[in-house]
Amino acid sequence: MPGGADMSEAVMAILRLFRGLECVGTGLTPSQYRIMKLAGAGGERSTRLAQRLAVAKPTLTATADGLVAAGYASREAEPGDRRVVRLSLTPAGRAALDRADAAYAAWLGQLLDATGDRAAVLDALGLLGSAMTEARRARQGIGSRDDGDGKERAHGHRTPHQHG
């Protein structure tokens, strides 16, 4: 397979990035962070969050229970349909998310600066993120252009330095 060694190196780099992110002292797990980023965009239905995160609803529920217990999130019934539950961040949750954003940005910023071409690496990561979103959408048969970070994208296009 041409490029097999290059692909293996790329996979190892991605796995090392993930492990590095797990070790950043944010006070949140990566799963909590992902849920809070999406819920932070506005009250989000639990079922929709599970789809966007590509996790089973019981997994989402367990993580959300921890966020509610920590005072970072609240659950609210949908007016007119009590079966629908929305997850929203509390002020403490927003503060925790801001701290995590800053910690992740500082950690990743140092790595990006060490590459010598921060913009190109960010663009490449954005392209990977878009490709993963399209693959998830195709698997789930989702019709919207929502990329899983609460931002809508034009079909197949990103603006320069737009990363999610």
Answer whether residue 159 shows pLDDT above 60: no
Q: In what order do the strands lie in the sheet with 44-45?
A: 44-45, 81-89, 73-78
Instruction: Tell me the pLDDT of the chain averaged across its residues.
Output: 81
As a whole number, mean pLDDT of residues 79-87 equals: 74
- Residues 21, 123: Cα–Cα separation, whole Å: 19
Tokens standing for 131? Answer: 């490709």
**pLDDT computed for residue 143 by the predictor:** 58
- Residues 105, 89: Cα–Cα separation, whole Å: 21
Q: How confident is the model at residue 162 (pLDDT cuts 50, 70, 90)?
A: very low
Tens of pLDDT, residue by residue over 44-65, are 677 778 888 878 888 888 998 9
**pLDDT computed for residue 2 by the predictor:** 55
